[in-house]
Structure 1
Amino acid sequence: MTKRPLILITNDDGINAPGIRTLIDIMNTIGDVVVVAPDSPQSGMGHAITLDSTLYVQQVKLGNDSQPEYSCSGTPADCVKLAIREILDRKPDLCVSGINHGSNSSINVIYSGTMSAAIEAGIEGIPAIGFSLLDYKWHANFEATKPYVKKITEQVLEHGLPDGVILNVNIPNIPSKDIKGIKVCRQAKANWVEEFDKRKNPQGKDYYWLTGKFVNLDHGEDTDEWALENGYVSVVPTQFDLTAHDYIQNLNNWNLNA
């Protein structure tokens, strides 16, 4: 009998989020699952790790699931670190993160706790995928995500991923019958145009709420934003090596050592 793969599941919306509960159900049809996820929402944490306070991990029992589950007081990246170093007795065959409530396409990947958890696994040499649904509602309907999450996961287990490559998968918030398929894409060039809503508390002290508008500056038809806007699931291969390799020679031509 073929041994079932060991799959580590995490997220950034918290261990109780409907998105991760959907992901757990899907992964239980594929392999043996261990869940290590934040005990509270950690959206927008990026690749933050806990250095100046204590971390707590508690085994929990949620629903009727039989797999081991642990809630962690730290960030998504903390969850992966603790899972690998303290909880699991061997390196997992795969790490999946999500299913995130909301988009992690384009520049959002930089801020995403979901993707940072997957990237942390990639740093450890573990094939990893971050999954997101373009619906920010807590009670979002994840039904349409299921066949695509399963298909992409099975393909990663079959083919593997190169060292340092992590898949960023985003799924449009449309009925499953309207999803046209899967497109492998590049990350669109986009950014947030941000403003701060300045207010005063009852004591007269200023405080701020961050607001913003997402602006897509990229009109290419090979981007994740184009795919999502046109009814496709987008798959972007990402990497944690931030070196601008094509600019190294240019810098070597500068007079840096004169």
Structure 2
Amino acid sequence: MATTDKKQILLTNDDGIDSPGLWAAAEALSELGYVWVAAPRDQSTGTGRSSPVTSDGRITTKTLVVHGQEWTIYSVGGTPAQVVDHCVLEILPRHPDLIVSGINYGLNIGTSIGMSGTLGAAMEGASFGIPALAASLELEDPSLVYSHSKEVDFSAAAVFVARFARQLLEKQMPFDVDVINLNIPSNATPDTPWRVTRISRHPGYDTFIERNGSLEDAARIGGNPVPVTPRDVEPDSEMYTVLFDRMVAVTPISLDCTSRVGFDDLDHLLRG
């Protein structure tokens, strides 16, 4: 059971409860405090911060032994954001000191991050006033994005998760930093340098629709990483940092989505 003298960390993801990325993070975070592991029962990539009324909200618990350590885990019938809601409002004895979401299969960068269940969980946690960290690892093989492939090495990414989780547990972030979005290149080592970045205005993924037959037949919407060159993206963005400088990108995100336009200028424009 959790003890009151330990920091309480809620760990979730959008790839589902069986994801190796989740367990790589769990092991790394266990050095920092008591880790509550709760994740969607099903693959929930691309669900953003959604809270659909169709989710059943059923919670099942089971005990797993991972690398000799025993974990009680919570499998939730809902999106990543709903997992956070269930944990904060009815599972955990008190609000956690930190929420970590990941480690995700694939990057969460550019204007596509609004679709990310990884970011959705972190932002839902931040809405409760809880520091939040989202972590994603670049895939050398993008086809593994919906998998639980053990070919992906999360060890270096887990080091960075623990490193920045420690900072969020020990320090008060500046006002308006509600979520830290961490993106790690596939070839990262624990010694790879990192940089504070902004979100690129370039889309991270190119949306496509697969449909066999007429509009009345079933279809699937998916996304492939968008091919870019250094000239396509901003040098101070997380996209440039990861894809071209091969550094870890650390992006501060605010829950305040208000445009940075001058209000007087916009008011004048709208009034004509």
Comparing 158-167 with 237-246, greater Cα deviation is found at 158-167
Taking only the aligned residue pairs, the percentage that are identical comes to 30
Contact in 2 for aligned 1:171/1:228 (Cα 8 Å)? yes
Residue 31 of structure 1 and its aligned partner are, at CA, apart by: 0.5
Q: What is the aligned partner in structure 1 of residue 238 from structure 2?
A: 224
Contact in 2 for aligned 1:14/1:41 (Cα 8 Å)? yes
Contact in 2 for aligned 1:187/1:224 (Cα 8 Å)? yes
AA at the equivalent of 2:31 = T
Task: State the secondary structure of the residue aligned to 1:58.
Answer: strand
Residue 176 of structure 1 and its aligned partner are, at CA, apart by: 1.9
> How do 1:62-141 residues align onto structure 2 when only pairs under 5 Å count?
62-64=64-66, 65-135=69-139, 136=142, 137=144, 138-139=149-150, 140-141=152-153
Task: State the secondary structure of the residue aligned to 1:252.
Answer: helix
The separation in 2 between residues aligned to 1:222 and 1:66, in whole angstroms, is 42
Residue 123 of structure 1 and its aligned partner are, at CA, apart by: 0.6
In the alignment, is residue 44 of structure 1 matched against residue 46 of structure 2?
yes
Q: What is the aligned partner in structure 1 of residue 199 from structure 2?
A: 187
The separation in 2 between residues aligned to 1:255 and 1:112, in whole angstroms, is 32
The separation in 1 between residues aligned to 2:223 and 2:15, in whole angstroms, is 21
In the alignment, is residue 208 of structure 1 matched against residue 212 of structure 2?
no
Q: Using a 3 Å threshold, how does the CA distance of structure 1 residues 255 and 244 change in structure 2: closer, same or farther?
A: closer
Candidates 156, 169, 172, aligned match of 1:144: 156
Residue 159 of structure 1 and its aligned partner are, at CA, apart by: 1.5
Comparing 236-245 with 52-61, greater Cα deviation is found at 52-61
AA at the equivalent of 2:198 = R
Comparing 118-127 with 67-76, greater Cα deviation is found at 67-76
Residue 93 of structure 1 and its aligned partner are, at CA, apart by: 0.4
Tell me, which stretches of 5 or more residues in structure 2 are unaligned? none
Candidates 243, 254, 261, aligned match of 1:246: 261
When normalised by structure 2's length, the TM-score is: 0.84
Residue 63 of structure 1 and its aligned partner are, at CA, apart by: 2.1
Task: State the secondary structure of the residue aligned to 1:115.
Answer: helix
Contact in 1 for aligned 2:184/2:249 (Cα 8 Å)? yes
Contact in 1 for aligned 2:64/2:72 (Cα 8 Å)? no
In the alignment, is residue 174 of structure 1 matched against residue 174 of structure 2?
no
The separation in 2 between residues aligned to 1:211 and 1:86, in whole angstroms, is 33
CA offsets, 1:164-223, max 9 Å, x none? 52000010001527x63111101112124444344229xx96443445551547433211
The separation in 1 between residues aligned to 2:235 and 2:39, in whole angstroms, is 35
CA offsets, 1:90-119, max 9 Å, x none? 110000000001111112311100110000
The separation in 1 between residues aligned to 2:34 and 2:196, in whole angstroms, is 28
Q: Using a 3 Å threshold, how does the CA distance of structure 1 residues 67 and 210 change in structure 2: closer, same or farther?
A: closer
AA at the equivalent of 1:189 = R
Comparing 29-38 with 190-199, greater Cα deviation is found at 190-199
The separation in 1 between residues aligned to 2:63 and 2:206, in whole angstroms, is 42
Residue 246 of structure 1 and its aligned partner are, at CA, apart by: 2.3
Contact in 1 for aligned 2:24/2:154 (Cα 8 Å)? yes
AA at the equivalent of 1:58 = T
The separation in 2 between residues aligned to 1:111 and 1:62, in whole angstroms, is 30
AA at the equivalent of 1:28 = S
Q: Using a 3 Å threshold, how does the CA distance of structure 1 residues 122 and 53 change in structure 2: closer, same or farther?
A: closer
Q: Using a 3 Å threshold, how does the CA distance of structure 1 residues 163 and 88 change in structure 2: closer, same or farther?
A: farther
Residue 163 of structure 1 and its aligned partner are, at CA, apart by: 5.2
In the alignment, is residue 26 of structure 1 matched against residue 37 of structure 2?
no
Residue 141 of structure 1 and its aligned partner are, at CA, apart by: 0.9
The separation in 2 between residues aligned to 1:78 and 1:51, in whole angstroms, is 10
When normalised by structure 1's length, the TM-score is: 0.88
Residue 60 of structure 1 and its aligned partner are, at CA, apart by: 1.6
Give the root-mean-square deviation of aligned CA atoms.
2.4
Contact in 2 for aligned 1:97/1:115 (Cα 8 Å)? yes
